[in-house]
Structure 1
Amino acid sequence: MNWDQIQGRWKQMRGNIKREWGRLTDDDVNQTQGQRDKLIGLIQEAYGVEREEADRQIRNWFSRL
C-alpha cells in the first residue's frame, strides 16, 4: 500500500488513525483530507513532538497496515 491508496481510502482509514493517535479529534483527522504533511503537523501539535518523530510514527503505523 502507498500513500496515494491511503488518500483514496481516507474514510476507512480515519478510524485506524484515531486508534493510533487518540488525542486527535474527528475534526482534526477530517481536516487533513489524507494529506501526510497535515497529519504530521497535527501529531506534532497534539503530542508535542518534533517533525521527525511525527514522521517516524507515521512510517511505523504505515508499515503495519
Structure 2
Amino acid sequence: MSNHSKGSTQNMLEGNWKQLKGRVQQAWGELTNDDVDRINGSRTELAGILQEKYGKAQHEVEKEIDEFLAKNS
C-alpha cells in the first residue's frame, strides 16, 4: 500500500473516530477503554497497541486495519 493510501485511511480513522471506536473495540476485543482513549483516532497508535496486545508484526496489523476500514467506511 502506498503512503498516500495510508494517509487517507489515517484521516478516515481520525475523522470518524467517535463512530468507529465502538467498532474498533468489537473487532479487537482485547482493547480496553483506556486503549481506545489512547488511540484517539491515530492509526499509528492503533497499530502499535494491536502489535503489543496480539503479538503480531506491523504488516499484519496494517492489513487488519485496512480491512477494518474497508468494511466500516
TM-score, structure 2 normalization? 0.80
Larger RCO of the pair (alpha carbons < 8 Å, separation 6+): 2
Paired-residue identity, %: 34
Structural RMSD (CA) = 1.5
Q: For the residues of structure 1 that align with 2:68 and 2:28, how far apart are their CA atoms?
A: 10
**Which residue number corresponds to residue 6 of structure 1?**
13
Contiguous gaps of at least 5 residues in structure 2:
1-7
Offset at 1:12?
1.8
**Which residue number corresponds to residue 23 of structure 1?**
30
Q: For the residues of structure 1 that align with 2:61 and 2:9, how far apart are their CA atoms?
A: 18
Contiguous gaps of at least 5 residues in structure 1:
none
Q: For the residues of structure 2 that align with 1:37 and 1:51, how far apart are their CA atoms?
A: 10
TM-score, structure 1 normalization? 0.88
Over 3 Å off, 4+ runs: none
